[in-house]
Amino acid sequence: MHAIKIQKGVKLKTKSIWGQPPSRLYGLIRLAEHTFNGHFNACVVGCSDGKFVFPFARKGHHVTGYDVDKSALYGATKEFPIYEKTKPIPYAGLTTLPPFPTEPRTYKGCIEKVKIEGLNHLVKIEERDFYALPPKQKFDVVFTSCSYQYSLNASKTLEEKTKIIQGIVSDGGYLYIDYMMAIDEQDYDRFPENKYLRKGQMATFFPTEEWQVLHIKENNTPSFEHAHTEHPYHHYHRFGYVLAQKRQR
Ligand SMILES: C[S@@+](CC[C@H](N)C(=O)[O-])C[C@H]1O[C@@H](n2cnc3c(N)ncnc32)[C@H](O)[C@@H]1O
């Protein structure tokens, strides 16, 4: 298999259908390496096809990924929209734009990619409904990107989901949550309260006796996202990000 060249000097053997991780993930890895003297274990809740898993493992860290999506774990053939990439289209009130035609494409799942990358000794991928059945194990670094708003998790409140994910962080460990916020905070039909955060809400789930919130950012305006296999039309999301450290007991 040919290596995929992503950045100058960095050759990756696999890539994610969701693109490259943001630089803040690498910032988190550096922070944890510093805190834990170079060695720590990580967990990615909602690991999908491995976008956020491989950066940890390629740096030699043990990482466990949980997901319920069989196609992301085992690979699949799905319809992908066909279009030329554009510059981001500024948000103008509509959360979705017209759909594109699609074509079937086959992609590899996370488990096969672990083998291709030769990282079986560091990566454990498990099919698991995390919020219904969280593991007992604790991790030094726990990361999730936009897993709260899935309908599967809608019976739990945002606070309950946050408590569940907080529960697998070791003392002194880090929790990083990327989350989707309501584009219209008054609209509880399109942005139900158990799925989408409102401004200022996430911080209230981190009691100061147990957690130190190191960084929180909540965008005011929606971000443009190109069409992809789940949404074959360009669309918008409003994101928030929190990084917190669990206090030592
Ligand atoms: C937004 S996706 C992550 C992939 C993303 N599109 C990206 O940019 O990498 C979030 C993932 O969380 C997973 N997820 C949601 N609820 C889950 C649950 N209860 N247990 C395990 N995985 C879950 C979904 O299946 C999905 O793969």
Instruction: Give pLDDT, residue 208.
Output: 98
Q: What is the CA radius of gyration of the chain?
A: 18
Sign of the Cα torsion 136, 158, 199, 21 reads: positive
Atom number, ligand 1, closest to the C-alpha of residue 16:
9
* Residue 153 Cα to ligand 1 middle (Å): 11
Fold category of 4-246 in CATH:
Rossmann fold (3.40.50)
Supply the pLDDT for residue 95.
Answer: 85
Domain boundaries, the chain: 4-246
42: Cβ contacts below 8 Å, ≥ 6 apart = 32, 56, 61, 62, 63, 64, 139, 140, 141, 142, 143
Nearest to 247 by CA among 170, 172, 140: 172
Q: Report the half-sphere exposure of 66 (CA within 13 A, side-chain side).
A: 18
**231 Cα–ligand 1 center, Å:** 15
Indicate which residue's Cα is closest to atom 8 of ligand 1: 18
Beta bridge partners of 139: 169
Report the predicted TM-score, pTM, of the whole model to 2 decimal places: 0.95
| Among 68, 168, 177, 179, residue to substitute to test ligand 1 (most atoms within 8 Å of Cβ) | 68
Would the CB of 177 count as within 6 Å of ligand 1? no
List Cα–Cα distances, 50 to 39, 56, 108, 220, in angstroms.
20, 10, 10, 29
Element (H, E) at 139: strand 139-145
pLDDT at 202: 99
How many angstroms is it from 249 CA to the middle of ligand 1?
Answer: 31
Q: Which amino acid is located at 70 in the chain?
A: K
pLDDT tens-digit profile, the chain (249 residues): 344 444 455 578 999 999 999 999 999 999 999 999 999 999 999 999 999 999 999 999 999 999 999 999 999 999 999 999 999 999 999 888 899 999 999 999 999 999 999 999 999 999 999 999 999 999 999 999 999 999 999 999 999 999 999 999 999 999 999 999 999 999 999 999 999 999 999 999 999 999 999 999 999 999 999 999 999 999 999 999 999 999 998
148 lines ligand 1 (CB under 6 A): no
Phi, psi of 116 (to 5 degrees): -60, -40
Confirm or reject: Cβ of 131 under 6 Å from ligand 1. yes
DSSP state of 219: -
Cα distances (Å, whole numbers) of residue 205 to 24, 25, 46, 67? 22, 22, 20, 23
Q: What is the structure's pLDDT at 9?
A: 53
Q: Is 51 in the pocket of ligand 1 (CB under 6 A)?
A: yes
What is the position in ligand 1's atom list of the atom closest to the CA of 66? 21
